[in-house]
Amino acid sequence: MANPPRPLWRLTATEILPLLHSGQVTVTDYAKSLLERIQARNHVKAWVWLPPSLILHQAKALDDIPTDERTMLYGLPIGIKDIILTKDMPTQYNSRNYESEDPINADASCILTLRANQALIFGKTTTTEFASTKQGGWHQNLTSNVHDQSRTPGGSSSGSAAAVADFQVPVALGTQTGGSIVRPASYNGCYGFKPTHGAISREGIAQWCPTLDTCGFFARTVEDLELLSNAFRILDDEPVPSHPFDLRTAKIGFCNSYNWSKAGPGTVGAMAKARDLLRRHGAQIEEVELPNDFARVLDWHAIVLAGEGQTSFLGRYLAAQSLLHESIKGYVENHKHVRHADLLAAYDGVARLRPIFDNIAVGYDVIITPSVIDEAPVGLEDTGDMSMCSTWTILHVPAINIPGFAGAHGMPIGLTAVTARYRDRHLLHAAKAIGEVFEGEGGWKASNL
């Protein structure tokens, strides 16, 4: 007996694209299916701006493109974190100072790339205020975790992670300054990819820390992340082998990192299980001890947040101080008393460690490390702890959350794979094979919902 057909909203980007390209499914029908899914899952509140008439209007325009003029991301709906400028939708930054529903009439550079590839900009997803607070601003933190309404989806790319994990859209854009892609991906149970720092233009994206801010993607499969990486021309110097990554010849590092004392039972368990699973699949597993200097990286990360926050938020502070979150005011008023000398020590210290880490990392196919301290905590008012991610963000290396494990309350827990800078495609290549093992045998699947 044949299974009933899967609803369109269940498909991944890689699954739907050939159907759209060939015209077997119209962009309009696919968009309608997603809109229905979103309506049925309204309580997740992943979106701050979702204009059905505009979406269907644009879907229709895409349907009118002749088959032979359809390009890489033809008809692909994508959620956009609401700190990224979209000329036809407002950008509100979850800020009381940006309540206007008039769009800022310019596209961020990354949106230009998506539109040129015929993607369908679907709507704006929730964020914390200017992607820099743990608490919300204007809207507070609207979004709930996809798997438990009482728990946080993580932040600051809350809505993008939730929308993708909840099958409301196949892919979404997020940004990471500390752990704002990897953490919500882990909390909601999907893939979240932060490429090498600088791999995607940040023009038109709210600035917090130029040294850290990185645009990246959410998806439910690694193939979908590869698809977006193709569109953004994220390529390694050495091409990835065309055959699948083979765990039996793999050498995989495990790095507990300097925050290991914070790790809860969910993360401790996931790391142990991951070691065991990968070993059983034939991989050589080796513990990675970072040199002592790396113990300072977390402090340096905090200094950069504060030091660059002071500059980045000055204009908004002077324009409308009373409308800003306390933590943002704190940056401008330098409540942490960060001196330029501290900031320079952080810059120069971590710059010295970047090539050292790269040299360590190229000794492994990937290094596995925690994504979060544990499963998503209860309560929406705090989006959780970024500290497991910050080291990789400030080292500028590509990082991906791979789902596959569950915590004590059955909530998803992912692990992060990292490698050296600009080995993004090698990372994705390995993550695909590792994800199959984690999702297959770790106790939790991205398609569980």
Residues in touch with a second copy (CB under 8 A): 85, 102, 104-113, 115-117, 196, 198-203, 206-207, 210-211, 232-233, 236-237, 308, 311-312, 314-316, 318-319, 339-341, 343-344, 347-348, 351-352, 354-355, 358, 421-422
Annotation marks residue 186 as catalytic: no
Q: Which of 81, 124, 134, 432 is catalytic?
A: 81
Residue 328 has which token pair? 């943002």
Annotation marks residue 144 as catalytic: no
Of the pair 213, 226, the CB lying nearest a second copy is at 213
Of the pair 116, 272, the CB lying nearest a second copy is at 116
Closest contact distance (angstroms) between CB of 187 and a second copy is: 28
Neighbours of 414 (CB within 10 A): 31
Q: Which of 144, 180, 257, 371 is catalytic?
A: 180
Residue corresponding to tokens 């859209």: 169
Q: Which of 95, 132, 144, 156 is catalytic?
A: 156
In sequence order, which residues have a C-beta less than 8 Å from that of residue 346 and are 6 or more positions away? 299, 300, 301, 303, 304, 307
Backbone angles phi, psi at 215, to 5 degrees: -85, 140
* Coil vs helix vs strand at 251: strand
Closest contact distance (angstroms) between CB of 42 and a second copy is: 31
Of the pair 9, 130, the CB lying nearest a second copy is at 130
Residue 437 has which token pair? 């093992």
CA triple 289-441-166, angle to 5 deg? 100
Closest contact distance (angstroms) between CB of 207 and a second copy is: 4
Annotation marks residue 156 as catalytic: yes
Q: Is 176 exposed, middle or buried (0-12, 13-18, 19+ CB in 10 A)?
A: buried
Closest contact distance (angstroms) between CB of 131 and a second copy is: 12
Of the pair 85, 372, the CB lying nearest a second copy is at 85
Is the CB of residue 143 less than 8 Å from the CB of residue 42?
no
Residue corresponding to tokens 């949106």: 111
Of the pair 11, 212, the CB lying nearest a second copy is at 212
Compute the 3-state secondary structure of the chain and give helix, strand, coil in percent, each to the nearest 5: 40, 15, 45
Closest contact distance (angstroms) between CB of 241 and a second copy is: 18
Active site residues: 81, 156, 180
